[in-house]
Amino acid sequence: MSVAADKMAKLLKLPMEVVTFGEEFDPIYVYYKSGDEEPIPIYCDKGGKSGMKEIYRALRNMMFVLSFHPKHSALKRIRKGVMLFS
């Protein structure tokens, strides 16, 4: 999952941070966070059965959808970039 998240972050030129806990958690979540705003869950790995391409596609689709939200207007600039790699 971290490979897909890292690939998406590099494509969008966004920073990526991996946060781990002392215990192992299942499922694993990917969040989008802008500044001091609350993080938004954009992907949930349901038991690790998804491949990198499937995870990347899901992340790309969620970032595209978020780019239309007025609260996340800064993502408008990445909309074309996200869809070019469809």
Express each pLDDT in 1-56 by its tens digit: 678 888 878 877 777 887 776 666 667 788 888 778 888 888 888 776 778 888 88
Which positions ≥6 away from 41 have C-beta within 8 Å? 29, 30, 31
17: Cα separation from own chain's centroid: 11
Report the distance separating Cα 58 and Cα 20, nearest Å: 22
**Residue ranges covered by each domain of the chain:** 2-18+25-84
E strand segments, 8-69: 28-32, 40-45
Give me the residue label for tokens 């001091």.
Answer: 36
Report the distance separating Cα 47 and Cα 41, nearest Å: 16
Which of 84 and 80 is assigned the larger pLDDT? Answer: 80
